[in-house]
Amino acid sequence: MDFKWTPEQEAMKKDFDDFFEEAMKGKPAAWVGGLEDMFSEEGFPFTKMVCSKLADKGWLVGHYPKEYGGSGWSILEQLIRAEAAGYHHAPTGDIFGIGMCGPTLIVVGTEEQKKEHLPPICRGERYWCQGWSEPNAGSDLAALTTRAVRDGDDYIINGQKTWNSGAHIADWAFMLARTDPETKRSRGISYFLVDMKSPGITVVPLISMDGSHLYNETYYDDVRVPARNMVGEENQGWAVTRMTMNFERSGVGGFAGNMADIKELVQFCKETKWNGKTLAENPLIRSRLAQLAIETEAGRALAYRIAWLQETGGMEAIATTAWMASSGKVYGSELSQRVAAIAEQIFGLYGQLIKGSKWAPFSGKYIAAHQMSMGGNIAAGTSEIQRNMIAWTGLGLPRTI
Amino acid sequence: MDFKWTPEQEAMKKDFDDFFEEAMKGKPAAWVGGLEDMFSEEGFPFTKMVCSKLADKGWLVGHYPKEYGGSGWSILEQLIRAEAAGYHHAPTGDIFGIGMCGPTLIVVGTEEQKKEHLPPICRGERYWCQGWSEPNAGSDLAALTTRAVRDGDDYIINGQKTWNSGAHIADWAFMLARTDPETKRSRGISYFLVDMKSPGITVVPLISMDGSHLYNETYYDDVRVPARNMVGEENQGWAVTRMTMNFERSGVGGFAGNMADIKELVQFCKETKWNGKTLAENPLIRSRLAQLAIETEAGRALAYRIAWLQETGGMEAIATTAWMASSGKVYGSELSQRVAAIAEQIFGLYGQLIKGSKWAPFSGKYIAAHQMSMGGNIAAGTSEIQRNMIAWTGLGLPRTI
Amino acid sequence: MNLDFTEEQDMLRTAAKDFLTTECDKTMVRQLEEDEKGYSPELWKKMADLGWMGLIFPEKYGGTEMDFMSLIILCEEMGRNILPGPFFSTVVLCGNAILDSGTDVQKDEYLTKIASGDIIMSWVQTEPTNTWGAGGIEVKAVADKDDFVINGTKLFVADAHVADWMIVVTRTKGGAKPEDGVTLFLVDAKSPGITAIPQPTVGMDKLCEVNFKDVKVPKGNIIGKLDKGWEVVEKTLLKASTCKCIESVGAMQATVDMTNAYIKDRVQYGRPLAAFQVLQFDMANALIKTTTLRELTYRAAWEAGEGLPEAATDVAMAKSWMNDTFYWVVERGVQLHGAIGTTRDHDMGLYYRRSKCAECQFGDSDFLKEKIAKDIGL
Amino acid sequence: MNLDFTEEQDMLRTAAKDFLTTECDKTMVRQLEEDEKGYSPELWKKMADLGWMGLIFPEKYGGTEMDFMSLIILCEEMGRNILPGPFFSTVVLCGNAILDSGTDVQKDEYLTKIASGDIIMSWVQTEPTNTWGAGGIEVKAVADKDDFVINGTKLFVADAHVADWMIVVTRTKGGAKPEDGVTLFLVDAKSPGITAIPQPTVGMDKLCEVNFKDVKVPKGNIIGKLDKGWEVVEKTLLKASTCKCIESVGAMQATVDMTNAYIKDRVQYGRPLAAFQVLQFDMANALIKTTTLRELTYRAAWEAGEGLPEAATDVAMAKSWMNDTFYWVVERGVQLHGAIGTTRDHDMGLYYRRSKCAECQFGDSDFLKEKIAKDIGL
């Protein structure tokens, strides 16, 4: 066992770190670094700018094959990049295109699909959104009712999708529609790539609790999609969906982000004096920040294991480590929530101030992060769904659904 | 709304307090005050002695009707007694006879049963145990298989019971047996009073994790029980059982016990200096003990509400407050566990020492209590069963079992 | 002992619930979040007409002379509906302070106007020093002939931007004990030198930065005694804390009810969410927390109302328990609602955001637990 | 980076698992709890024959020269089976201390005998002062010609009652910094003036009160340097802490497996307990905690084995996380077993009780978190 990076990897690490350090100097105020910031009106130009620079260096989507515009990185190099980006809360493009749709296409896409979509993803030119959930199909995704009907060389799609993160900035969507309404649930669903500029698509914002705009509803009204934009076979979209869900879930970026937050909070506590003592002298605060640091490192260690197993086990490992990825997800999102909550608590009365108050610590970043963290426990599989999966696939317990 | 006691009640309170203060001076070493102590080899003579003195004053079972040996107390006076006893961790006889069997007989017993059993309970002369659980019928009590077959004026009982607290010291048992094996589950069960000296009964100890002896297995081998010892109708024992389960569950005694523990720990922290500072100066310990005090008072306030509703609502209130009683039970047992765990933690390395080490703080009482507290989360309805009940009866959520 | 409310109080509760459900729906709550004033003058007038402002004041000041527990009932219902506006500042804080510690002249002047709904008041205590303790009071009032002159910055002050009058907690003397040398003044909010700027908060509850620049106040406007004002603060905050706790209980119960209804209704995997045991346990725990807090608060409030010495500890306990439980309950409520619960348009968020505001009022848990630790002998 | 173990290490794990399952079943664990010595000499001999005692020692001392991570593997398996006895004291604590800081002569003398299974050793550090910090070392060793004379009481000392040799941590000099003036001695346990009395503990793990009355030790028996012994302690405890953590991981995984099997088997209400979602969530959380602790411990252990500076913080983190998670996991394990899990005869209790013992070793969470707070810059 050996946790050392090679000298090449160490050098890479430093390069990434220097890059993000520099790039993030221009970040908008109160930048938390979640998708809410990346896709906001103010944040999206910044995101595109950083991602474009990353792409120029071949660092945006390093782990794709070189023939499709990637740099042929291993999962470990990807991990190093993810950790550096996470630490700096840097935008790294859309997790949907880069992390979900792209890898899916690499495995099951047609050559034509790969050639059409992967290079623009790697260049940071094409942003994606996911079109899965519906008002009555949330955790129970297989209950979806959006229809796709074959019409010549096209399918015509009708229905409503919801919780579409970044749909308002996305160029394309990978979405699910029912192609066989006769069969039930997960059978009869197909997986489509849809140009968001297609006639008949309407995107309606869903504003989050803290006022940010990440989610949207997407209405499909006779949207015509060429049949060649179907991924996998007709009615076999569910298997593709399962695959998409399992990619890139080491979660290391989140833990690196926590590390940076803790460091920032430590500095704040050393500099801030209320009631005659610095916050750093308060044993309760010392204990809480230490606990956050511990939990962050414990999660990070798990993330490394997931990456390692995927590195050495290939596609097969993605399935066998699914319960670990679920563990990392639920552990990580709940921890991020605690980091923000404890930051607020440290700020005392100042903790309730939000962006726009000159008195708000870090321009209200942590209270915004706290509200966004609620979504983190829900999006991409609720914490409940993750724990179900861990019980079923990690422990072999009977399915309760 | 008015939380004041009347002058008479205040006087009563003081009398109880003085009594227990005095009586508990003779308590065995490392006395925690749970049933484990009350029914231990060393503790049972002490228990009987204290209870006998209580009975002499009419304080052992004050809330039974006077005609059966009680003092006709209201639930509020009972509450005052329970709180005083709990605060002193005093033995107050068996909760099974006094708190479960007796009240059941008062409501549904025959006059003969009342006359036979209630007076000796009130005099502290007859101890009871419960014969409900079986190896394959724990939380799922209705799965019990012990058989009772009518034979003339008797029933003949065969089967195995388990987790019979205090069966080794009990004079009588109230137990459940299946009288109609054809009908399923809760139907076909009858409720019996059984003299533990009956031929055919064998009691086998189940030693607890900490070495204490509270639980037993009880084997019934052709045990002959007179038919007049049946409570309620034949095959209607389930309804009687439900009633028995709901009596006297304000839980105020437990919260009072926590108060005493916290007081004891506060004193310990003021007197104990390690590494140059008293424990009382440690902000982490201050915060933890304060938190325990808060949670204790919150639970106690709930206990008062339960008692009040039962006082003013009578038998009917016992059903409508069942979810509150379940809340008090699960909240209280989990809190007691935390009190013990935090005590251990305060003791540092000394926390691992048990009875028999001269270095053990409070003769190892808290670490014993901690282990016993595990049973508290299981006995008399596991915490899971309690939360189920709260969800179903307190919130109207659908039954999951 | 009697843990029931009176019939009159039960009627008050029903009336309050009905009135607020009709007159203060969530659309209004949302509008008032964005509103510059943060309250509805029409609603304010109606509440005054119902006698809510003077609920606990003597009749001679236009009140209805109900007891403190009646105010608790009202606050519980206000919390359930998240009533925005300066009721808490005006009645709960300033009203109680004047009622308990004002002179007859002051009572006659201010209680009467509060009861009639004619004035809004603001309790001006906290500062950038970030504490509810006496040590945080640094804004100075210096004697100058028949006046005092106030200078300095107050922060996190609710409703100062719409107040007609303020009660300002000032430092009039330094010394070893921070509790000594604190003085409270009734200050005309229109006095020259006062500016109040509302700060955006998570609950949009109009907490202001208030700047005092050479603000003159007549000596006669002192509430309580010179340099001994901290007693008035303590007494007032005891009552206000229990009102905040019970307001939170109302809010918590509302989220429990709302979430319970939602999971019974929302079907996933062919059955209502309510059929999932894990969600049932979340709900059971939420109910336990809400119920224990309610009972603890009733007791603490009764003690505070009666002026009993044990109130000090019990109120701190209730408030600390509130800080723990309110957040827990609404957090679970949002989680059980799923994504819809995280949106700005959903009512859950209104409650969720207020749990942070409530936590910040009158002491966070560390502050309170340190007090409790002292009280239990540590 | 390579997070896999070598094939040789995988074989070691399998062999250890098989051996311990056969040779150290729970009946033996229970017997040894009541046994005066607390270990089985036959088993001890067999372990020595397998090369476990000298696993990480150089070949010239009779060892097999495997790396520290191999010892970690062994400890994980020992924890899974709750191996009782003085392996930890002898090999993990004293063995590592001598290996890292002993003179060649000392290594030749003691490592050889440890490797052959001929001696048992005890690490004698803690005192009634109740801390693993340097400030707790008050037992004095005073120079007297060519000897030092030790006086005082040590407490919570594992296996002192059966030890042939001890490493005793003493104070040889007072001073401003408690880390200065600490000296370690190799002490013959049969020296006149030593008494060791095992104390009953929750894990019955033979922690002794050890009294030193005018115990003479030759100067040559110092490990490390005079007055500079704390460095040796720190280095040793770093490694020992990770061994304790991984031992706990083994135990946690055992309880997860045991509970998982039980709930799949136990039927209530017509279905296995495993079908209840709440219990599934308990199990999922237990698995998350066990897995995160394992991974964190592997990293910290590797760092400690490599002597990297970051080991100090990461080991403290692993140990603190262990304190939190071990108890949590076994507590849930007992709960899911129901009443049977609370009995003396059930294996769950064996693990449950050991979680407390493990917590007490090498620092509780408050102690460790204060260290971590310093390390992260507070």
> Which of C155, C339, C344 is nearest residue A163 as measured by Cβ atoms?
C339
Q: Which candidate in A248, A295, A297, A316 is catalytic?
A: A248
> Are C338 and C205 contained in the same domain?
no
Cite the beta strand spans of A208-247 per DSSP E: 213-226, 230-231
Contacts of D126 in chain B (CB under 8 A): 349
State the Cα–Cα distance between residues B23 and C51, nearest whole angstrom. Answer: 55
State the Cα–Cα distance between residues B178 and B184, nearest whole angstrom. Answer: 10
Nearest CA distance, A328 vs chain C (angstrom): 18
Report yes or no on C272 lying in a domain. yes
pLDDT in tens, C149-165: 999 999 999 999 999 99
> Are D191 and D207 contained in the same domain?
yes
pLDDT at A248 over 70: no
Contacts of C135 in chain A (CB under 8 A): 275-276
What per-residue confidence (pLDDT) applies to A320? 85
Is B244 near chain D, with CB under 8 Å?
A: no
Report yes or no on C43 lying in a domain. yes
Is B162 near chain D, with CB under 8 Å?
A: yes
Name the D residues in 219-278 with CB < 8 Å from any B CB.
Answer: 267-269, 276, 278
What per-residue confidence (pLDDT) applies to B203? 98
pLDDT at B249 over 80: no
Q: At C82, which CATH number?
A: 1.10.540.10
> Are D371 and D263 contained in the same domain?
yes
> Are D133 and D210 contained in the same domain?
yes
| Percentage, residues of chain B above pLDDT 90 | 86
Encode burial over C287-299: b for 16+ CB neighbours within 10 A, e otherwise. Answer: bbbbbbbbbbbbb
Q: Which has the closest alpha carbon to D29: D246, D204, D261?
A: D204
CB pairs under 8 A, 24+ apart, for A44-53?
A44/A169, A46/A91, A47/A91, A47/A93, A48/A124, A50/A23, A50/A24, A50/A90, A50/A91, A50/A92, A51/A91, A51/A92, A51/A93, A51/A124, A52/A123, A52/A124, A53/A19, A53/A23
State the Cα–Cα distance between residues C114 and C52, nearest whole angstrom. Answer: 10
What per-residue confidence (pLDDT) applies to A316? 81
List, as one string, the DSSP characters of B190-247: EEEEEETTSTTEEEEEEEBTTS-EEEEEEEEEEEEEEGGGEESSTTBHHHHHHHHHHS
Question: For C288, which residue in chain B has the nearest alpha carbon?
Answer: B327
DSSP character at residue D24: S
As a dihedral over the C-alpha atoms of residue B252, residue B258, residue B263, residue B269, rounded to 10 degrees, the angle is -170
Question: For A337, which residue in chain C has the nearest alpha carbon?
Answer: C331
Q: Band the pLDDT of B293: cuts 50, 70, 90.
A: very high
State the Cα–Cα distance between residues C213 and D86, nearest whole angstrom. Answer: 74
As a whole number, mean pLDDT of residues B35-57 equals 94
Q: At C241, which CATH number?
A: 1.20.140.10
Nearest CA distance, C302 vs chain A (angstrom): 28
Q: Which candidate in B83, B248, B295, B344 is catalytic?
A: B248
State the Cα–Cα distance between residues A77 and A82, nearest whole angstrom. Answer: 9
> Which of A138, A356, A401 is nearest residue C339 as measured by Cβ atoms?
A138
Q: What share of chain C is helix, strand, coil (3-state, %, to 5)?
A: 55, 15, 25
> Are D359 and D271 contained in the same domain?
yes
Report yes or no on C92 lying in a domain. yes
> What are D308's two structure tokens?
């990297």
* Contact between chains at D263 and A2 (C-beta distance less than 8 A): no
Nearest CA distance, C210 vs chain A (angstrom): 13
> What are C227's two structure tokens?
């340099």
CB-neighbour burial class of residue A2 (10 A; exposed 0-12, middle 13-18, buried 19+): exposed
> Are C244 and C367 contained in the same domain?
yes
* Contact between chains at B401 and D269 (C-beta distance less than 8 A): yes
Q: Which domains does chain A have, with CATH numbers?
A: 7-93 (1.10.540.10), 128-241 (2.40.110.10), 252-394 (1.20.140.10)
State the Cα–Cα distance between residues B279 and B283, nearest whole angstrom. Answer: 9
Is C48 near chain A, with CB under 8 Å?
A: no
* Contact between chains at C321 and B396 (C-beta distance less than 8 A): no
Nearest CA distance, A351 vs chain D (angstrom): 20
Is D3 near chain C, with CB under 8 Å?
A: no
Contacts of C129 in chain A (CB under 8 A): 274-275
Query: Which helix (H) or strand (E) is C188 found in, with range?
Result: strand C182-188
State the Cα–Cα distance between residues B298 and A356, nearest whole angstrom. Answer: 38
> Are D287 and D321 contained in the same domain?
yes
B148 phi, psi to nearest 5 deg: -125, 120
DSSP character at residue B98: I
Q: Look at residue B397 and give its three-state secondary structure.
A: coil
Interior angle at CA D354, CA D348 and CA D356, nearest 5: 120
Range from A391-395, B30-34, B254-258, D177-181 carrying the lowest mean pLDDT: B30-34
> Are C108 and C159 contained in the same domain?
no
- Greater pLDDT, A69 or A401: A69
pLDDT in tens, B334-345: 999 999 999 999
CB-neighbour burial class of residue B67 (10 A; exposed 0-12, middle 13-18, buried 19+): exposed
pLDDT in tens, A170-206: 999 999 999 998 877 788 999 999 999 999 999 999 9
A248 is catalytic: yes
Report yes or no on C364 lying in a domain. yes
Question: For D356, which residue in chain B has the nearest alpha carbon?
Answer: B352
State the Cα–Cα distance between residues C364 and C131, nearest whole angstrom. Answer: 9
Is B215 near chain D, with CB under 8 Å?
A: yes
* Contact between chains at D317 and A270 (C-beta distance less than 8 A): no
Report yes or no on D1 lying in a domain. no
Report yes or no on C2 lying in a domain. no
Token match 């135990």: residue? D251
* Contact between chains at D342 and B354 (C-beta distance less than 8 A): no
CB A225 within 8 A of CB A176: no
Question: For A281, which residue in chain B has the nearest alpha carbon?
Answer: B283
> Which of B206, B209, B357 is nearest residue D199 as measured by Cβ atoms?
B357
Is C335 near chain D, with CB under 8 Å?
A: no
Is C353 near chain A, with CB under 8 Å?
A: yes
pLDDT at B297 over 90: yes
Question: For A287, which residue in chain B has the nearest alpha carbon?
Answer: B284
Question: For B384, which residue in chain D has the nearest alpha carbon?
Answer: D278
> Which of C200, C327, C334 is nearest residue A353 as measured by Cβ atoms?
C200
Q: Which has the closest alpha carbon to D5: D370, D202, D235, D294?
A: D294
Q: Which has the closest alpha carbon to B379: B138, B30, B85, B54?
A: B138
The pLDDT mean for chain B works out to 94
Would you put residue D364 in left (φ > 0), alpha (ψ -120 to 50) or beta? beta
> Are C220 and C178 contained in the same domain?
yes
As a whole number, mean pLDDT of residues A253-266 equals 96
Q: Is the ipTM above a cut-off of 0.95?
A: yes
> Are C265 and C288 contained in the same domain?
yes
Name the A residues in 278-307 with CB < 8 Å from any B CB.
Answer: 282-284, 287
Is B388 near chain C, with CB under 8 Å?
A: yes
* Contact between chains at D344 and B208 (C-beta distance less than 8 A): yes
Report yes or no on C1 lying in a domain. no
pLDDT at A315 over 70: yes
pLDDT at A352 over 90: yes
> What are A5's two structure tokens?
């990076």
State the Cα–Cα distance between residues B311 and A372, nearest whole angstrom. Answer: 47
As a dihedral over the C-alpha atoms of residue A332, residue A335, residue A337, residue A339, rounded to 10 degrees, the angle is -130
Domain stop point among D55, D86, D120:
D120
D346 phi, psi to nearest 5 deg: -90, 145
Question: For D369, which residue in chain B has the nearest alpha carbon?
Answer: B284
Domain stop point among D60, D85, D120:
D120
CB C283 within 8 A of CB C260: yes
* Contact between chains at D291 and A1 (C-beta distance less than 8 A): no
As a dihedral over the C-alpha atoms of residue C126, residue C132, residue C133, residue C135, rounded to 10 degrees, the angle is -30
* Contact between chains at D130 and B377 (C-beta distance less than 8 A): no
Question: For C279, which residue in chain D has the nearest alpha carbon?
Answer: D278
Domain that residue D177 falls in: 123-228
Q: Look at residue D280 and give its three-state secondary structure.
A: helix
Q: At D190, which CATH number?
A: 2.40.110.10
Nearest CA distance, B258 vs chain C (angstrom): 13
pTM for this prediction: 0.96
Name the C residues in 276-295 with CB < 8 Å from any D CB.
Answer: 276-278, 281
As a whole number, mean pLDDT of residues A325-333 equals 95
* Contact between chains at B371 and D128 (C-beta distance less than 8 A): no
pLDDT in tens, A146-177: 999 999 999 999 999 999 999 999 999 999 99
Token match 């609404």: residue? C330
Q: Band the pLDDT of B248: cuts 50, 70, 90.
A: low
Contacts of B293 in chain C (CB under 8 A): 317, 372, 376
* Contact between chains at A352 and C203 (C-beta distance less than 8 A): yes
As a whole number, mean pLDDT of residues A52-80 equals 93
Count A/C contacts: CB-CB distance under 8 Å.
Answer: 120
* Contact between chains at D203 and B352 (C-beta distance less than 8 A): yes
What per-residue confidence (pLDDT) applies to C316? 98
pLDDT at B246 over 80: no
> Are D182 and D272 contained in the same domain?
no
Interior angle at CA B358, CA B357 and CA B363, nearest 5: 75
> Are D97 and D167 contained in the same domain?
no
Q: What is the pLDDT along chain D (378 residues), one digit of tens a residue?
A: 999 999 999 999 999 999 999 999 999 999 999 999 999 999 999 999 999 999 999 999 999 999 999 999 999 999 999 999 999 999 999 999 999 999 999 999 999 999 999 999 999 999 999 999 999 999 999 999 999 999 999 999 999 999 999 999 999 999 899 999 999 999 999 999 999 999 999 999 999 999 999 999 999 999 999 999 999 999 999 999 999 999 999 999 999 999 999 999 999 999 999 999 999 999 999 999 999 999 999 999 999 999 999 999 999 999 999 999 999 999 999 999 999 999 999 999 999 999 999 999 999 999 999 999 999 999
Nearest CA distance, B123 vs chain D (angstrom): 32
State the Cα–Cα distance between residues C4 and B1, nearest whole angstrom. Answer: 5
Neighbours of chain D (3+ CB pairs under 8 A): A, B, C
Token match 């990070």: residue? A300
CB B148 within 8 A of CB B162: no
Query: Could you give the number of structural domains in chain C?
Result: 3
Domain stop point among D228, D259, D275:
D228
CB pairs under 8 A, 24+ apart, for D44-49?
D44/D85, D44/D117, D44/D120, D45/D117, D46/D19, D47/D87, D47/D117, D48/D115, D48/D116, D48/D117, D49/D117
As a whole number, mean pLDDT of residues A366-389 equals 93
Task: Tell me the CA distances in angstroms from D296 to A34, A300, D42, D360, one per residue in order.
Answer: 26, 8, 35, 20
What per-residue confidence (pLDDT) applies to A349? 98
Contacts of C277 in chain D (CB under 8 A): 276-278
As a whole number, mean pLDDT of residues B209-218 equals 95
